[in-house]
A and B are shown apart, each in its own frame.
Chain A
Amino acid sequence: MKKTAIIVAGRSGSAFTAQIGTMKVNEEVDAMQTLGLDPMEVLVMPRVFALVLVLPLLTFYADVMGLLGGAVMATIVLDISFFQFLRQLSDAVTLWTFWVGIIKAPFFAFIIGMIGCYEGLQVSRSAESVGRQTTRAVVEAIFLVIVLDALLSIFFSVIGI
């Protein structure tokens, strides 16, 4: 689900950049390296891994909430009962629509996480550079999510789903 990914890019991608960027300003990342710790291993991998794990779950949650909202809306405004809605739904969308969203999620998560962390590590030793890199991270992540979504859509339509 692209929309979930965009929200997460705004919420978590920016948080990664700001967190790691602040650590850069504070020379924590340098201190880490002098102690023999690899920032990739300590800062980047756990964040990217966590996002890859969680974004599919969040997508599932967003799907359920979206459908629930649709059902409530249909009941109140269009006077369609909940069971009618469900019947119509199973005609309109296949289970694959759901799976496509779940399959795409880890790819989006990877991109958002990597960009967030990368831009965080690009921060120089000033507070204003944290702000600048955070903005960059969000813009790049949203842009690439949209591009990747288009590419994946092409891919899925080529393999015939």
Chain B
Amino acid sequence: MSGAESGMAAGNGGQIGSGRIRQGQEVVSVTGLRTQFGSNVIHEDLDFSVRAGEVMGVVGGSGTGKSVLIRTIIGLNKPRAGRIELFGQDVAALAPTEWRAMQSRWGVLFQDGALFSSLTVAQNVEVPMKEHSDLPAALRRELIEVKIAMVGLPPDAAHKYPAELSGGMRKRAGLARALALDADILFLDEPTAGLDPIGAANFDGLIGDLQRALGLTVVMVTHDLDSLYAICDRVSVLVDKRVKVGTIEELMREPDPWIQEYFGGPRGRAAAGSATRAGETAAAEPALPEQGA
């Protein structure tokens, strides 16, 4: 339920997140995926997998289907062919009730938060709790406060409507909603897009801290090279309708021109440089205070 408990669980037996999965286990496994819109094939024979406890970055040129890949995994887009396994279960074979249960095991942060505009932040965070649990109202209220504090929003933001918040705050609120239930996997669609460099760095920090504290597995689509260097363990690059996976160092050895251009270009080198510098100072920084406890 709380960061402290998850942290403890990580200590014994290698279980992480909500305690239902083990560190390193394959939680997302996609094989032979083919997606297409009309005659436009986006992915062809694509294999993709994510291990529990890692932060997987998904990058690629525009139109290569980064968001489509995530949308397909979470069931918003039906694949033409291929097999998607989540937590070791084939999603195509799940009964509707099993699918619903599985939906409560991941959180999704869409671009710009995708908060329900007619509800306040607190009500937004409450939606998944109401839908997937039968917690009493008083407990829900308490949990909402915890979640809102956890993502670094001030308490008075709880009663504001999405339109009254800044872009960065909407993303944080979206993150609170994604984490309303004790998710094992967090899917992020361009979490730092549209934020200024300081806001983006703070958001990266927040995701990294939450990932460690809650034992989350994170899959993030991003354009932001700084995010990749700051928090991603491995990176999947979408090229030629398939993915190439590896750490940034491994990928830099790939001959593919797009990958070379992406990591080896001026922006890539700048991000690498600042990541090294940040790494030296970050080692001394204290971890996230466990507000979830």
Contacts and interface: CB of A to CB of B under 8 A. Distances in A.
Contact of A34 (B108, B111, B116): B108
Contacts of A27: 110-112, 114
Contacts of A28: 114-117
A53 interface: no
Interface of B: 71, 74-76, 100, 103-104, 106, 108, 110-112, 114-117, 127-128, 131-132, 177
A33 interface: yes
Contacts of A31: 108, 110, 114-116, 177
B100 A36 contact: yes
A37 B74 CA distance: 14
A34 B128 CA distance: 10
B104 A23 contact: no
Contact of B112 (A22, A26, A34, A35): A26
A37 B76 CA distance: 13
Nearest to B187: A34
A62 to B, nearest CB: 29
A52 B57 CA distance: 48
A37 B111 CA distance: 19
A33 B76 contact: yes
Contact of B128 (A22, A26, A35): A35
Contacts of A33: 75-76
A36 B103 contact: yes
A30 interface: yes
A26 B124 CA distance: 14
Contacts of A34: 74-76, 103, 106, 108
B131 A37 contact: yes
A29 to B, nearest CB: 9
A76 B75 CA distance: 66
